Chains A and B, each alone.
Chain A
């Protein structure tokens, strides 16, 4: 791991070292120790790697949880002795997952994957890595806040992880933590200390997201290099900008919902509580006048934008990777930006479609149906543009490109079922069934993670100066892609038949006995798919140390600025001047040339895009 050399411009550049020190932005030239370089680093690239690796650890934990509950769902009768050995007799008595633990597993799986992997891991990694490198900045607007953003994220991670080991277990009321279940410690085991840990962890997570988001927005808007107008930004940056705006405006509302919940839990208020008789304690609670629906409004006001916080960065990464590897300009650049904007605006006015069956006024419901279905328009524009970017392209099927195409596929098939679920009438049948699980896993979970893989494979050479192993990458892609469809496609049928989600065991339920084999099949595929993710982790770690070295600054033949920096850039990114930008980022296959970097001035007889 001796990356130090390049900070001082060895071999990478002909510029004399002292140029670096004359830069007005003041590249740090103090001596770096292990602590300042790898631990309390303020370099956006290192912070990005910290986010990525923390996110990967979470992904393994969260993925492992899904394997555990799929074991239960696929083989409800079986006794797995190793589970009892591993988890103890409280959670896996006789080798069978106990109901309380099952709920804890699904809750933590959702929380971890949605927030810690696909928000912290995805945005944290690529916003930090790509913003300064692609807009042409030395670092973020405030490297200090940026570092704090990671440390709050890690703090949230530690608290959440600790909650897995406490006696009453982690939160188990679903990743949404609906009141009143989440507000009453006596209601079940998971609503005791685990719920407090969950809330504290999430509060830290919100702070982390806000600090990060503030930085992303002000860096993108204020720190662009000379010539980098907004319409010359790569789509990755546009996507990250809108993601950050969504986060900054919606996470605080979630926090206010959590604060009221904390008061209900410990202060004796009744914001969400009314007329409750607890069978666990045999007592009627004194709380009156509260509204459980109020929590749902506050939660989903974030909860819905949250799914776009996950998917927008993935869209940005995919757009960029697709254009580079199709050797064609992205089709409809301004339409892409416009549809990102439209999605961002609509994200704030559709939240009640998660609440169609809560007794919401049907008239209000129909307004939310209309607004929800409107999202199909910008989504369809984006899909159309990706397909037309691929059309007659000179496609290079790199692993990143395969993941990008995979993303488009899952985004289409998951998006189509969204049209079903966006209808308040159809929702009467479909809500809380496996159809919902299938829908959001394909459109948000799988698409999000495919987008993240796409980004990792594409920018790995820039992050570590080495390539990942291609054979392992291809195996990883095909099994993940096929596996994802094989896991989630059958769930649509189960859901249409009315099979409800969040149940421990369906075997006593005659209507769903027909799905016994299907459940076993899904569980088996889930295990195989999870195993392949471990292959990816191996490939990732192995390649950091032993991968083939990158010898070319611009291995993918890309136009954007990050590939003009040294192969292993130091803190400050460019030795010497920051490059100036003269054209948009998608000049591929133009005027008979394969690609023209953004830094190349317009020719005398060339018109700007």
Chain B
């Protein structure tokens, strides 16, 4: 006990290590993980029960995967550009990321339509219905990120105040990498567990 008292000053140094907003984001990501963990475990449990149906991964999902991987790269480059104070580059990369995000959602939509046209609608309780819900919810999270990106793009273009605080950019890039990784996980999950 006494020992822990002696290292008291490290607390304050620790405090400087991580920005509270970044920490908040990490906890929020944990929370989102729990939601998808809940849904994918429901999927796994449901799979062993009668009435389960499967679906084949549509081509569009491969393209959307590539799309979101590239967007992770662009958001990372945007962060670097921001830190190097290359604002023009930053703005362009951020806009590209947002556009790729929108394109990702459109590709997911195309993927859904592909599955839908193979006869898997919302009727039933098989893999296809779970896919609509889970991948749909993921797309909503991507759209949330797109909105945040757009707000930052607008700020970057129109704000008269020069702001070199990199925390918001770091936050959005962390979130964006997260939705990327989440999709990769879901994609592998849907391919591996049928």
Partner-B contacts on A (CB < 8 A): 141-142, 145, 210, 213-215, 217-219, 221-224, 226-232, 248-253, 255-257, 259-260, 263, 267-271, 273-274, 286-291, 294, 297-298, 301, 334, 607-609
Instruction: For the complex, give the distance between the alpha carbons of A340 and B14 in Å.
Output: 24
The answer, yes or no, to whether B56 is at the interface (CB within 8 Å) is: no
Instruction: For the complex, give the distance between the alpha carbons of A108 and B128 in Å.
Output: 35
- CB neighbours of A218 from chain B (8 A): 20-21, 23-24, 27
**Known pairs A252-B32, A294-B45. 13 more at Cβ < 8 A?**
A213-B31, A227-B8, A229-B5, A229-B11, A256-B42, A267-B122, A271-B46, A271-B125, A271-B129, A273-B125, A286-B123, A294-B46, A608-B2
| Contact among B21, B27, B49, B125 with A248 in the assembled complex (CB-CB below 8 Å) | B27
Q: Are A219 and B20 in contact (CB under 8 A)?
A: yes
B46, chain A: closest CB distance, angstroms = 6
Q: Are A222 and B51 in contact (CB under 8 A)?
A: no
Residue of B nearest to A245 (CB): B27
Q: Are B37 and A253 in contact (CB under 8 A)?
A: yes
Which residue, of B7, B8, B46, B49, has the highest number of chain A Cβ atoms within 10 A?
B8
Q: Are B24 and A289 in contact (CB under 8 A)?
A: no
- CB neighbours of A222 from chain B (8 A): 15, 18, 20, 23
Instruction: For the complex, give the distance between the alpha carbons of A248 and B35 in Å.
Output: 10
| Contact among B4, B30, B37, B50 with A229 in the assembled complex (CB-CB below 8 Å) | B4
- CB neighbours of A232 from chain B (8 A): 5, 8
Residue contacts A-B, CB under 8 angstroms, 19 given: A141-B23, A141-B24, A142-B21, A218-B27, A222-B15, A222-B23, A228-B11, A232-B5, A248-B27, A249-B34, A253-B34, A256-B35, A260-B133, A270-B129, A271-B125, A288-B51, A289-B126, A294-B45, A609-B1
- CB neighbours of B11 from chain A (8 A): 224, 226-230
- CB neighbours of B4 from chain A (8 A): 229, 231
Q: Are A252 and B49 in contact (CB under 8 A)?
A: no
Instruction: For the complex, give the distance between the alpha carbons of A207 and B46 in Å.
Output: 27
A273, chain B: closest CB distance, angstroms = 8
A599, chain B: closest CB distance, angstroms = 14
Q: Are B28 and A210 in contact (CB under 8 A)?
A: yes
The 3 closest A-B pairs by CB, nearest first: A289-B51, A252-B35, A141-B20
Residue of B nearest to A247 (CB): B31
| Contact among B21, B129, B130 with A141 in the assembled complex (CB-CB below 8 Å) | B21
Instruction: For the complex, give the distance between the alpha carbons of A217 and B51 in Å.
Output: 42
Instruction: For the complex, give the distance between the alpha carbons of A210 and B30 in Å.
Output: 11
Q: Are B125 and A290 in contact (CB under 8 A)?
A: yes
- CB neighbours of A334 from chain B (8 A): 1
Instruction: For the complex, give the distance between the alpha carbons of A288 and B53 in Å.
Output: 11
| Contact among B28, B51, B52 with A274 in the assembled complex (CB-CB below 8 Å) | B51
B53, chain A: closest CB distance, angstroms = 8
Q: Are B137 and A259 in contact (CB under 8 A)?
A: yes
Interface residues of B, CB < 8 Å — how many?
42
Which residue, of B1, B5, B49, B52, has the highest number of chain A Cβ atoms within 10 A?
B5
Instruction: For the complex, give the distance between the alpha carbons of A102 and B37 in Å.
Output: 37
- CB neighbours of A255 from chain B (8 A): 35
Q: Are B8 and A229 in contact (CB under 8 A)?
A: yes
Q: A274-B51, A609-B1 are in contact. Are A248 and B31 (CB under 8 A)?
A: yes
Q: A145-B24, A608-B2 are in contact. Are A289 and B52 (CB under 8 A)?
A: yes
B6, chain A: closest CB distance, angstroms = 8
- CB neighbours of A274 from chain B (8 A): 51, 125
- CB neighbours of A217 from chain B (8 A): 23-24, 27
Interface string of B71-86 (1 = CB under 8 A from A): 0000000000000000
Instruction: For the complex, give the distance between the alpha carbons of A218 and B27 in Å.
Output: 8
- CB neighbours of A248 from chain B (8 A): 27-28, 30-31, 34
B52, chain A: closest CB distance, angstroms = 7
- CB neighbours of B34 from chain A (8 A): 248-250, 252-253
Residue of A nearest to B16 (CB): A222
Residue of B nearest to A224 (CB): B11
A148, chain B: closest CB distance, angstroms = 12
Q: Are B28 and A214 in contact (CB under 8 A)?
A: yes
- CB neighbours of A229 from chain B (8 A): 4-5, 7-8, 11
Instruction: For the complex, give the distance between the alpha carbons of A224 and B130 in Å.
Output: 43
| Contact among A219, A253, A289, A608 with B50 in the assembled complex (CB-CB below 8 Å) | A289
Interface string of B46-75 (1 = CB under 8 A from A): 100111100000000000000000000000
Instruction: For the complex, give the distance between the alpha carbons of A287 and B51 in Å.
Output: 10
The answer, yes or no, to whether B39 is at the interface (CB within 8 Å) is: yes
A286, chain B: closest CB distance, angstroms = 7
Q: Are B27 and A291 in contact (CB under 8 A)?
A: no
Q: A223-B15, A608-B5 are in contact. Are A289 and B123 (CB under 8 A)?
A: no
The answer, yes or no, to whether B12 is at the interface (CB within 8 Å) is: yes
Residue of B nearest to A290 (CB): B125
Instruction: For the complex, give the distance between the alpha carbons of A231 and B2 in Å.
Output: 10
Which residue, of B7, B21, B36, B124, has the highest number of chain A Cβ atoms within 10 A?
B124
Residue of A nearest to B17 (CB): A222
Q: A214-B28, A214-B31, A298-B38 are in contact. Are A221 and B123 (CB under 8 A)?
A: no
Q: Are A268 and B8 in contact (CB under 8 A)?
A: no
| Contact among B5, B20, B37, B133 with A263 in the assembled complex (CB-CB below 8 Å) | B133
Instruction: For the complex, give the distance between the alpha carbons of A260 and B130 in Å.
Output: 9
Instruction: For the complex, give the distance between the alpha carbons of A215 and B121 in Å.
Output: 40
B105, chain A: closest CB distance, angstroms = 18
Instruction: For the complex, give the distance between the alpha carbons of A327 and B45 in Å.
Output: 53
- CB neighbours of B125 from chain A (8 A): 269-271, 273-274, 287-291
